[in-house]
Structure 1
Amino acid sequence: MRKFAFLASLTAAAALAAAAHAQPAAVTVTLAPAFERSAEDLGRADVQAQMDRLVEIVTRELADDPDLAGVRIELVLTDLRPNRPTAGQLRDRPGLDPVRSISIGGAVVDGRIVTADGRELPVHYERFSHTLAEVHGVGVWYDADRAWRGLAANLEAGRYVQR
């Protein structure tokens, strides 16, 4: 029993030391100045929620990636389009139907990765449905969520620029 208790505390100490050594990537998201007006039209709360969701998905996906430990990932949201009307759009344009109004959604994200040694690597990712037939989800941000997941997968795979 004593050996087990000693090994358990040793394992916990080693895990804490490893976690302290390998800092996860720090992810920030800002809006491009050219996108500010569109963000207002979509509704600030909806856009902020999508920015937070992007940080969450990228951070979670890269949490265990040793190649990106300790880097800063600075993302800039340059375009964002919902598949269905946002709360702000429904408020501003009462003729929109929250269920039947559907559009091609997606997002464009630019930015950079700043490594621990100061190198800057450009980031570019864009993902939109091409036709309404491709819009299968029922959520307002179905295609944007697909874009966030695609960006995170590309970053994890070392593909920072996708055109």
Structure 2
Amino acid sequence: MRHFAFLAPLTAAIALAGAAAAQPSSVSVTVSPDFAKTAAELGQRDVQQQVDDLTATVTRVLTERNALDVARIELVITDLKPNRPTMQQVTDKPGLDMMRSLSIGGAAIEGSVTTASGEVHPVKYDYYSSTLAEVRGSTTWQDASTAFDRLARNLAEGRYVKR
């Protein structure tokens, strides 16, 4: 009987904790129609990979920080610039070297956050290296990844528009 007396409050506490657990936000990412024209030059596979990366990054950061619970986040990639040539670019321009060609990269994202209370907040964020000296990574999408990570952290902190 004593075992049951101990288990009842424990079971109630676990049930309450489960009910209070945050439900993940809904994150959807698309590419703007204007950028879709340029996206073909980068390669559909690479662009889709960046859409998936932005979705995963925002979802991961918001989940880790328990931020924007039950919010609907709709993001639109309006620009992507790789730090190194994509496979499609190398195919289209054989003079490019995937290892030695380096450029300023980054991304621009717009969209909206609809909170659980129904409030709609516009989202606008961009990040680009300003010089080649700032290009620290050696991956094709290093600066775009930095933009995605910084946007996700800003969303988690309630900053939706980069000023």
TM-score where L is the length of structure 2:
0.89
Shift of 1:119: 1.7
Shift of 1:65: 4.3
| Residue equivalent to 1:127 | 127
Query: What residue identity is the alignment partner of 2:68?
Result: L
1:47 aligns with 2:37: no
Structure 1: gaps spanning 5 or more residues = none
| Residue equivalent to 1:70 | 70
Assess, with a 3 A threshold, how the Cα gap between structure 1 residues 54 and 12 changes in structure 2: closer, same or farther.
same
Question: What is the aligned-residue identity percentage?
Answer: 50
Secondary structure, aligned partner of 1:68: coil
Number of positions where the alignment pairs a residue of Structure 1 with one of Structure 2? 160
Q: Within 5 Å, give how 1:134-149 maps onto structure 2.
A: 134-149=134-149
Query: What residue identity is the alignment partner of 2:82?
Result: P
Shift of 1:38: 1.0
| Residue equivalent to 1:16 | 18
Cα distance in structure 2, aligned partners of 1:156 and 1:36: 28
Given that 1:24 and 1:64 are in contact with CA atoms closer than 8 Å, whether structure 2 keeps it comes out as no
Cα distance in structure 1, aligned partners of 2:17 and 2:93: 54
| Residue equivalent to 1:38 | 38
Cα distance in structure 1, aligned partners of 2:48 and 2:124: 20
Shift of 1:155: 0.7
Q: Which has the larger radius of gyration?
A: 2
Cα distance in structure 1, aligned partners of 2:13 and 2:47: 42
Shift of 1:13: 3.9
1:107 aligns with 2:75: no
| Residue equivalent to 2:83 | 83
Structure 2: gaps spanning 5 or more residues = none
